[in-house]
Structure 1
Amino acid sequence: MFRFLSISALLLLTNTRTAAHQKPYFKPTKNYIFPSTSIDGIARIDTKIGNQALDRPYITRHNSSSYEWWYFDAISSDGQSSIVITSFVSPLDTYENQSGLQLLVQIVSPQGGLYDDTIEYDKDEKLYISTKGDTSNGILNNGDFSWIGKSDLSEYTLNLNLPKYNISGTINLFSLAKPFVGCGPAQKDANTSIFWFFNWINVIGDAVAVVDIAVGDQKVAFTGNGYHDKNWGPVSFIPYVHHWYWGHGRVGEYSVVWSKMFLNDNTTKAGGWISKNDKIILSACFENDDSVVIKPLGNNITDPPKKANNTHNIQGFDITINTGNEQGIFQFQLKKNIRINGELGTYARWIGNFTGGQLGEEDSQIGVAVTEQMGPFVF
């Protein structure tokens, strides 16, 4: 129903939405249109949260190498279905006749993958983004994809309307966690850089997700876990990164996000975020140590991976996070239900059951999680 929604109508709709626990905001409302006029030379990259919306664009004018995206996902509570939507501005592989805008949609059900592709947009097709408070609101190409967030980041409503691909529906995310940057809390002067070429803000580390999507005559409807983050940088990370792991899950009272990036120069940086009932236990980065260990499980697995197309035997992951404080060590395990293989074998995703907790006090409940391996970017 949002296909012909104008940007002014979106702003009016956003202004009329209220949150029960909404606080007053004094951050300026801003509007952006992409693609913007490209520049030669170095693109200006914001790496501080500052006094503007947390979920805003951090690159307002791109050059030929800069990139930025808004990422959303949801996993069903049985670990059998998932949806991923990513809206790209000036992504890593823009072609000459295109605007740089892309929309990645991946929909998985117990019957397998229903849709997994990236839609390319021409130069006359636009992405409109507005901000209010800390949130962003976006409309891509007159409503192919739109998102509307509450100004306190408590809720996002996503709408897909892709008649060409027989896809339509909505996703609601109700946040269960406070936002954070890659290496700590999302405070005013927080730095968003993981490495100089890669910035990360986690807008919603965990959420209750309500999904109602139709793909042709097949319905994908579930409740489960939701998530939203964003990344950006001045140049492609592919020449610098060998591989990385990332994932998020919930089990019992714990919400967890983990990541570990391995560079070609043997540098590593890991991130660990753990929340219990909306109280942050850990939000930190660790460089060149084993505070965060992500170990793939299965037969005939090479760890670390040496080549692409080498993820078929992975049946799950052990995730160990040493907080380095009085909370001690947390151990979690993801057991694969479904594996999704990406293009060229340099990307794979697993969704499945998630167990664990604080060492010695592991929760007996079973939750769900998703994790990814990107790379190795060598062939």
Structure 2
Amino acid sequence: MVHPNGYAWWYIDALSDDGQNGITIIAFIGSVFSPYYARARRKGVADPLNHCAVNVAIYRKQGGCWTMTERPRVAVSRTANSFTIGPSRLSWDGKSLIIRLNEISVPIPGRVSGTVRVVPTAITRKYFSLNEDGNHWWWPIAPCARVQVALDHPHLRWQGDGYFDMNSGDDPLEQGFSDWQWSRGAMQDGTAILYEARRRDGSRFDLAVKFDPQGRMEVFAPPPAAPLKRTGWKVVRSVRSDGEARLVRTLENAPFYARSVVSAKLLGEPVTLMHESLSLDRFKMPIVQAMLPFRMPRARK
């Protein structure tokens, strides 16, 4: 259950084995970055099921694409093993997460359709509370997974190491946090995850963990922070690394958010990280809120 004014999202990312392609998929209940949901909350208690979306971001040399159409409650259905948002559907078959996509990209309209399958090596049972009030949580569901991409539009066929997690909260994300840096990377015998968040009260959540393919967790001391070049929007980026880190590619460059591929070193091993930087102070700015509908249209059904 997602509380009024709250949120839940399921996040998947993967990089192809040849390093040429990448994908992220996020299914939202109570879309945390939605200007429509923010407007509804300003008027009073808002229904998160009236603000759901499937965000798909595809990265390739020929050019990427982006979808994030928000849909109302009438276009959403849920069961114990499935989640349907408009024409797209996520379902669990007991061994894998199957994502059937049928979305329209923005700002240049184009179809994004096909199937993405996430096959975990193990499912973890470890939840993390992100703040002392216990109203924001993170669950790394499948830190180690293989992802199979079979899209018809655009035509893509590849597979690679991937990741699957969930975040949820009872209050708007921007009320609990001002910014964060997050990254994950496939290693020789598992996945490393770095999570750093600055809370509104000035305290911090800092975590460095490694999961092996069986889902066993090991906490390790975070290495020093290595600064990365700011984005064109001047979003601050940094990553933990044993030694110098290198920005390989900026995948998303938004006024309040950046997604990047970063080369770093963790536990004595070179690692390629999927990395994100988020500034919720910027997200709250009226000018940013006014820009969001161009990337996040809302459908009537």
Tell whether 2:277 aligns with 1:336. Answer: no
Which stretches in structure 2 are left out of the alignment for 5+ residues?
41-46, 286-301
> Which of 118, 135, 138 is matched with 2:68 structurally?
118
Tell whether 2:109 aligns with 1:198. Answer: no
Residues 75, 351 of structure 1: 8 Å contact kept: no
> Which of 126, 151, 158 is matched with 1:213 structurally?
151
Tell whether 2:292 aligns with 1:371. Answer: no
Change in Cα spacing, 1:357 to 1:137, as seen in structure 2 (3 Å) is same
Once the two structures are superposed, residues 256-305 of structure 1 have per-residue CA deviations (whole angstroms, 9 ceiling, x without a partner) of: 11100012432111122202453635158xxxxx746443334xx6xxx9
State the partner residue of 1:52.
none
> Which of 175, 184, 199 is matched with 2:120 structurally?
175
2: CA distance between counterparts of 1:346 and 1:256?
Answer: 25
Return the TM-score normalized by structure 2: 0.75
> Which of 91, 108, 129 is matched with 1:148 structurally?
91
Residues 319, 333 of structure 1: 8 Å contact kept: no
1:198, distance to aligned residue in structure 2 (A): 1.5
Which stretches in structure 1 are left out of the alignment for 5+ residues?
1-57, 184-191, 285-289, 321-330
Q: Secondary structure at the match of 1:377?
A: helix
State the partner residue of 2:260.
350
Q: Secondary structure at the match of 1:120?
A: strand
1:336, distance to aligned residue in structure 2 (A): 3.1
Residues 228, 247 of structure 2: 8 Å contact kept: no
Change in Cα spacing, 1:207 to 1:168, as seen in structure 2 (3 Å) is same
Tell whether 2:6 aligns with 1:70. Answer: no
Q: Who wins on radius of gyration, i.e. which is larger? A: 1
> Which of 189, 195, 214 is matched with 1:278 structurally?
214
Residues 79, 351 of structure 1: 8 Å contact kept: no
Instruction: Look up the equivalent residue of 1:172 and give its one-letter code.
Output: R
Tell whether 2:51 aligns with 1:108. Answer: no
Change in Cα spacing, 1:111 to 1:367, as seen in structure 2 (3 Å) is farther
1: CA distance between counterparts of 2:186 and 2:156?
Answer: 21
Q: Secondary structure at the match of 2:20?
A: coil
1: CA distance between counterparts of 2:16 and 2:251?
Answer: 15
Once the two structures are superposed, residues 222-261 of structure 1 have per-residue CA deviations (whole angstroms, 9 ceiling, x without a partner) of: 2112111111111112134221011111122231111000
1: CA distance between counterparts of 2:247 and 2:169?
Answer: 31
Instruction: Look up the equivalent residue of 1:340 and give its one-letter code.
Output: L
Q: Whose helix proportion is higher, 1 or 2? A: 2
Tell whether 2:260 aligns with 1:319. Answer: no
Instruction: Look up the equivalent residue of 1:130 and give its one-letter code.
Output: T
Change in Cα spacing, 1:262 to 1:293, as seen in structure 2 (3 Å) is farther
Q: Secondary structure at the match of 1:310?
A: coil
Superposed CA RMSD: 3.1
Once the two structures are superposed, residues 338-369 of structure 1 have per-residue CA deviations (whole angstroms, 9 ceiling, x without a partner) of: 213354x11100125x45343xxx34xx6533
Instruction: Look up the equivalent residue of 1:202 and give its one-letter code.
Output: P
Residues 182, 271 of structure 1: 8 Å contact kept: no
Change in Cα spacing, 1:277 to 1:68, as seen in structure 2 (3 Å) is closer
> 1:272-311 residue pairs with structure 2 within 5 A?
272-278=208-214, 280-283=216-219, 291=222, 293-298=224-229, 309-311=233-235
2: CA distance between counterparts of 1:67 and 1:318?
Answer: 27
2: CA distance between counterparts of 1:254 and 1:334?
Answer: 20
1: CA distance between counterparts of 2:97 and 2:26?
Answer: 14
Return the TM-score normalized by structure 1: 0.61
Count of aligned pairs: 267
Instruction: Look up the equivalent residue of 1:237 and give its one-letter code.
Output: L
Residues 144, 211 of structure 2: 8 Å contact kept: no
Once the two structures are superposed, residues 60-110 of structure 1 have per-residue CA deviations (whole angstroms, 9 ceiling, x without a partner) of: xx42x2112222222222333221221211223325599212221211112
State the partner residue of 1:87.
27
Q: Secondary structure at the match of 2:281?
A: coil
Residues 57, 67 of structure 2: 8 Å contact kept: yes
Change in Cα spacing, 1:276 to 1:101, as seen in structure 2 (3 Å) is closer
Q: Secondary structure at the match of 2:155?
A: strand
1:160, distance to aligned residue in structure 2 (A): 0.7
Q: Secondary structure at the match of 2:97?
A: strand
Residues 67, 235 of structure 1: 8 Å contact kept: yes
